[in-house]
Amino acid sequence: MTAAQQPIGVFDSGVGGLSVLQALRAELPHERFVYLADSGNAPYGERGDAFVQARTHAITGYLLQQHHIKALVVACNTATAAAIHEVRERHPQLPLVGVEPALKPAVAASKTGCIGVIGTRGTLTSAKFARLQASLGGQARFIVQPCDGLAHAIERSTAEPLPAMPTATETGAICARYTGLMGKFGTKDGEIDTLVLGCTHYVFVQDELRGLLGPDIQLIATGEPVARQTRRLLQTAGTLAPEAGAPAPAITLFTTGALAPLQNAATRWLQLPAQSCATVDLPTNRP
């Protein structure tokens, strides 16, 4: 297998990173992907940095050794904040893309200059997020709200049928509680007109958020910028998959937790067959 034919690795603490995989597939339709959901240890946002770092190194090692990935997308804000600098140090030749709350695009999009940011506590209390926010000081007012329990509820929701009324769900109730704490949403001066989805899971509650906040509030996620950056890195490395005459690329998904939630999520959100999913036992590497 040539370098161009090797897969791109993508991982998250659970199914939330499927939103990034969705964007990657749209941007890079000829690439092969291996996705790993560390659902047996989710959510990362409520874990300590040392735990997240250990899991990130274990997953990176597994994807390199067992699947020979040519690039890695850390599709988890918490893992990016806690561990991506260490992964870069250990694997300097590996093209690596992380995710972070999309504050810069939100500043460009906002008309009122008042921006809401929701995410896990691990992401929003990280030094990396503090530096990002400080770099935009004076350009906007940020209302930052940790959403404890929301990522976990989204994980659980994959076992349920699609609701007729999105806001009448557990995830809808959690969204209502936290957005209600943030202040007034709207398009007038002083109102929050833009909401940054600072966790990859939250893309999958856009309907709930839209139902609560109305059509005029802009929702900003990170999947498309991540996909474009991945393309740029592969172009620089000369390892983009060939397009001419390429067969439909293989996509394999693994989970360290129960199989059914990943199968349900892959079918619901990516229209992938259940048989593309499998479980994997992945112990943590110890230093």
Q: Which residues are catalytic?
A: 76, 199
SS3 content of the chain, % helix, strand, coil (to 5): 50, 15, 35
Q: CB 79: neighbour CB atoms within 10 A?
A: 30
Please name which of 7, 12, 42 lies closest in space to residue 25, comparing C-alpha atoms: 7
Nearest alpha-carbon partner for 192 in 134, 111, 103: 111
Alpha-carbon distance 189 to 256, whole Å? 46
Beta bridge pairs of residue 145 = 118
Closest CA to 197 of 216, 166, 219: 219
Residue 59's identity, in one-letter code, is: I
